[in-house]
Amino acid sequence: GEDVEQSLFLSVREGDSSVINCTYTDSSSTYLYWYKQEPGAGLQLLTYIFSNMDMKQDQRLTVLLNKKDKHLSLRIADTQTGDSAIYFCAVRDQKVTFGTGTKLQVIP
Amino acid sequence: DVKVTQSSRYLVKRTGEKVFLECVQDMDHENMFWYRQDPGLGLRLIYFSYDVKMKEKGDIPEGYSVSREKKERFSLILESASTNQTSMYLCASSLEGEQGAYGYTFGSGTRLTVV
């Protein structure tokens, strides 16, 4: 089955850019997602990208997709303390597979 | 505001008890899912349902069952709770088909502790 890998932890200073990375194994994945989970809460869909796109920008969020390397990234510009959360990458082919999540810590 | 509601935020149950986790969505979604979330393991799919009275096993169904008698309600049942079922349980829903590709809506989660 599909494997989706993320690093477990990322620490950045407030105002810097954050880049959260994700790799996956199934090249037939059609939709790729980023979810955010704040402490004690469920997951919230942040953005998604179709596999025929290379980039998608939405305000402070930029998603980059490298299909050749099966690599997805989420860039958060001007990171704020409110961005502290766990970020999950997910990919969809016949079903949706979630990554392990990256905990983003924003240092004031 | 559309949402997925899980009946309990925190539950403490004893080993061997039968446990019911309830999930209700008000979006008229066809698909509903139960995941468990454990540190370092991400989200793992337990069961899902594409229609009323329909259920499919996910990746880790052992020790669990589900019930979907109405479209809006999807229940997860732990037949005989064990300590290794201590976890955060997340319910999600989505539209069917290509519209469902636009992502899931999650509930706030139920943190279950089995003692």
Predicted confidence band at A56 (pLDDT cuts at 50, 70, 90)?
A: very high
Least confident of A24-28, A35-39, B47-51: A24-28
The three-state secondary structure class of A98 is strand
Write phi, then psi, for B7 (nearest 5 degrees).
Answer: -65, -30
Beta bridge partners of A47: A34
**Distance linking the first and last C-alpha atoms of chain A:** 40
Predicted confidence band at A26 (pLDDT cuts at 50, 70, 90)?
A: confident
Collect the ranges in chain B with pLDDT lower than 50.
Answer: none
Which residues of B are less than 8 Å from A44 in CB distance?
106
Beta bridge partners of A37: A43, A86
| Spatial contact of A21 and A8, defined as CB atoms under 8 Å apart | no
Q: Is the predicted pLDDT of residue A51 greater than 90, yes or no? A: no
Write phi, then psi, for A39 (nearest 5 degrees).
Answer: -55, 130
pLDDT tens per residue across span B89-109: 999 999 876 656 778 999 999
Which residues of A are less than 8 Å from B92 in CB distance?
42-43
Q: Write out residues 27-86 of A within 8 Å (CB-CB) of B.
A: 30-31, 33, 35, 40-45, 48
Q: Give the pairing type, strands A102-107 and A9-13.
A: parallel
**Residue B34's closest CA among B11, B63, B14?**
B63
Considering CB atoms only, which of A44, A48, A98 is closest to B43? A98
For residue A69, what are the CA distances in angstroms to A31, A32, A84, A87?
16, 14, 28, 21
**Residue A29's closest CA among A71, A57, A63?**
A71
Q: How many CA atoms lie within 13 A of B59 on its CB side?
A: 15
User: Which of B106, B108, B110, B111 would you mutate first to test chain A, the one with the most A CBs within 10 A?
Assistant: B106
* pLDDT of the residue at B114: 98
Residues shown for chain A = 108
| Spatial contact of B38 and B21, defined as CB atoms under 8 Å apart | no
* pLDDT of the residue at B100: 63
Predicted confidence band at A60 (pLDDT cuts at 50, 70, 90)?
A: very high
Determine whether the interchain pair B90/A101 forms a contact, defined as Cβ–Cβ distance below 8 Å.
no
pLDDT tens per residue across span A65-105: 999 999 999 999 999 999 999 999 999 887 889 999 999 99
Q: Given the structure tokens 């064990």, which residue do they identify?
A: B82
Q: Give the pairing type, strands B10-13 and B110-114.
A: parallel
* pLDDT of the residue at B99: 58
* pLDDT of the residue at B105: 93
Residue type, A9: F
Q: How many CA atoms lie within 13 A of B40 on its CB side?
A: 0
The three-state secondary structure class of B100 is helix
